[in-house]
Structures are given as structure tokens and as C-alpha cells.
Amino acid sequence: MGGKPINDFEKDRFLVIGHRGAAGLRPENTLASFERALELGVDAVELDVRQVEDTLLVFHDERLERTTNGRGRLADTPLSVLRGLDAGGGERIPTLDEVADLVGERAWINIELKERGIAAAVARFLRARPALRSLVSSFDHGELERLRSLHPEVPVAPLFETAGSATALLRTARRLDAWSVNVSRAGATPALLAAMRDEGMRALVYTVNRPEEARSLQAAGASGVFTDRPDRIVGAVGPP
């Protein structure tokens, strides 16, 4: 995806992307989860990024309760406390650096910006790691635009939660010079996927945990899926 040029193999491959690592098999967004996804042969891992005290942390929610033994808001909690929490199975909340060290060149990393105002820190992070293959996504399309202005070579993908018109999606994607549009299962109708394919725009669909659904999305024109269960999906989708 990024860092180095996209080669033809990657460009045409139907992607299996481990959602928060392998969130259906290990505690989400932990090193154990990313390691499991890599062992299972995903093409990429997706992770969620927030910033605390100038450190980029891999964490989905605004609050701590659902996935850790802590309480309160992530943003209100000192980094030293956050790093001592149990994020499941004795795992810690990892930094983006720790995940990048683990993944290295074994797969791509899809960095999802979960907060406004972190584009500059993510751009700095990516510049410091030119060998990392990355795709940066966000529901906050303005934040993606800022990232592009700071680091124009980074591939980006606007996220869409609800089904919008293909025309609106494409307008956003073209404005960002996007590598893909990342759409929810609900939004990924056959008509939308066909429209993206006809316009030469990749569509990646989240979150798909059943092999038959992954196969039918592939047949309808999707370019890849995010999954909590790479054990079920890797190997179940065919070559393009």
C-alpha cells in the first residue's frame, strides 16, 4: 500500500485485512492479536490510533471500560497509568511503534485515525518508517486531507459507515486521491460495489467474518475485506 511503490501483485490481490488484528480470536488491538493475524497469513492488519501525551497508542474506544481493566476516558488518563492496564489476557495497550516493530515487512498496516488532530504525528511516524507498507483511513475525511497535505505519498482511504450514493463516495475519494474507499457491510451493496469497480476505485468492506459473504463480496467487485476471523477468511477467498 504505501511506503514503497505498490507492486502489481498487491494492487490486484483480494485483500484479507485482520480487523484490530484478529479481534475474534485475541484481545483486540493488542500485540497478541496482531501476531495471531500475521500467523494466519493476512495481507494487512487494521488498527485504531489515538494520541496521549505525544504518544500514538493503538486503541479503539474513547473510554477504557470495554477493553481494559481501567475506568474513564483514555484522553484523561496519564500515559504511565494506561501502559499499566490489562487490555485482555495480560496484554498492554500497545504503542503504534510497538505494532510497527512487530509487523515490519510481514504485512501492510492500515492505520485508522480515531481522533482529530493526530495527522501530523502520524505523518511524522510514517516518514520515520519508510519501509512500512501503510494505508491510512478515517471517518474524519478532513483529518485525512491534512495527512495528505503533510505527507502526499501516503495512500489514504476515506471510511463510510452508512450507504451513501456512489457519486458522493467517488467525489470524496477523488478529492483525497484515495487508494480505496472503505465501506461498511451495510453500505457495500452490489450496486455500490459495481459502481466503484466501473470507476476503477477499490472498495474494502468491514467487518466480514463469514467466508461465503467474503466470496460474494469478492464476486460483486470488492477488493478486500476486514475480518475479526482471519482463520475463517484467509484461504476461503480465491485469487482475483
Residue labelled with grid coordinates 459507515: 161
Q: Which of 2, 3, 19, 42 is catalytic?
A: 19
Of residues 125 and 206, the one with the C-beta less far from ligand G3P: 206
Of residues 48 and 228, the one with the C-beta less far from Mg ion: 48
19 is catalytic: yes
Q: Which of 10, 13, 55, 60 is catalytic?
A: 60
Find the shortest distance in angstroms from Cβ 161 to ligand G3P.
8
- The DSSP symbol for 161 reads S
Is residue 214 close enough to count as binding ligand G3P by CB under 6 A?
Answer: no
Rounded to 5 degrees, φ, ψ at 170 are -65, -35
User: Which residue's Cβ lies closest to Mg ion?
Assistant: 112
Find the shortest distance in angstroms from Cβ 137 to ligand G3P.
5
What residues numbered 100-129 form the site for ligand G3P, per CB under 6 A? 112
Rounded to 5 degrees, φ, ψ at 96 are -65, -35
Set of cell numbers at residue 232 = 475463517
- Between CA 95 and CA 100, with CA 96 as vertex, the angle to 5 degrees is 120
Rounded distance, CA 56 to CA 29, Å?
Answer: 13
Is residue 51 close enough to count as binding ligand G3P by CB under 6 A?
Answer: no
Is residue 46 close enough to count as binding ligand G3P by CB under 6 A?
Answer: yes
How many angstroms separate the Cα of 30 from the Cα of each of 41, 50, 86, 98, 238? 17, 14, 10, 10, 29
Residue labelled with grid coordinates 484479507: 16
Cis before 207? omega within 30 = yes
Q: Residue 137 touches which of Mg ion, ligand G3P, none (CB < 5 to 8 A by kind)?
A: ligand G3P
Residues that bind Mg ion (CB under 5 A): 48, 112
Catalytic residues, which ones?
19, 60
Interacting residue ranges for ligand G3P, rule: CB under 6 A: 19, 46, 48, 60, 112, 137, 159, 182, 206, 226
